[in-house]
Structure 1
Amino acid sequence: MNEIRSNSGSHIFVDGGAEVIKEFVKQDLIDEYVISTIPILIGNGVRLFKETEQENKLELVVSNSFPSGLVQNQYIVIRSEGKQV
């Protein structure tokens, strides 16, 4: 993973469930989140994120809404030293 990240212009897209994302968060490998919200209320479902020991601070970069009602928010991760990635 670090070798891929070290190449200029290389982007890795992770599209998976909460368990997959939890492992990437645990290893501090996520720099950006794109979260889409679909305007449908359901009574139950799978969590977006699993419980974690660490707190992750995010900064909203852009928010887009679409005619369908879908809203997509893009966040960058704020590292503990206060630097954005």
Structure 2
Amino acid sequence: MTMNYVYIATSIDGYIATNDGGIEWLHEQPNPTGSDYGYSEFTNNIDALVMGKNIFEKVRTFGEWPYKKKVFVLSSKLTDVPSELLGKIEFISGESNEVLEVINSQGFDNLYIDGGKVVQEFLSNDLIDELIVTRLPILLGKGIPLFGELAEPLRFTHKNTEIYDNALVKSHYVRAK
């Protein structure tokens, strides 16, 4: 059975980045314990990542490639894989359903879906099975929202909520079908 997960952080007001794609505010939150807040445990249970071009380009600015799993980058413009990422990423384009068929046919069933536009597209096509959203205690007031318009409501069931460092609130939701 294939499963598609979103694991993402937002501001209290639901933004994943500033208007210019900035995410520096994510790193301003003190982390006295050095915890990864469950991220490693989550990624141990996925087969691959699916991300958009914008988040791919942002991650490239971090220096060393942070992912140990295969990454599929949705882009109709990018086609040449940088030499240092050969075997680590694959560019793919098409409608979300088609993209999933190609990825699943390669044996990748548990997918981490990342990037604002990609998450919104997958949600609008009802292709997200679980949402894990961590809210940081900051109001950005404007920026790139996590959620966009939907043709009809999507209902989720609350699985659990954890609070880290008395500041970050991570809530896990499962699609109610």
Q: Deviations over 1:16-52 (max 9, x none)?
A: 11x2112212322110000110001222222111111
* Alignment pair present for 1:74 and 2:74: no
Quote the offset at 1:68 in angstroms. Answer: 5.4
Higher helix share: 2
Higher strand share: 2
* Alignment pair present for 1:12 and 2:111: yes
* Alignment pair present for 1:44 and 2:142: yes
Identify the structure with bigger relative contact order (alpha carbons < 8 Å, sequence gap 6+).
2
Please, what TM-score do these two structures have when normalized by structure 2?
Answer: 0.39
Corresponding residue pairs, total? 76
1:82 maps to which residue?
none
Q: Percent identity?
A: 29
Quote the offset at 1:15 in angstroms. Answer: 1.3
Unaligned runs of 5+ in 2: 1-99
Quote the offset at 1:2 in angstroms. Answer: 4.2
Q: Match for 1:66: what amino acid?
A: Y
Give yes or no for contact 2:126–2:154 (8 Å, CA) kept in 1: no
**What secondary structure is seen at the aligned counterpart in 1 of 2:134?**
strand
- After the TM superposition, which residues 52-67 of structure 1 pair with which residues of structure 2 at under 5 Å, given as runs? 52-67=150-165
Distance in 2, matches of 1:51 and 1:26, equals 8
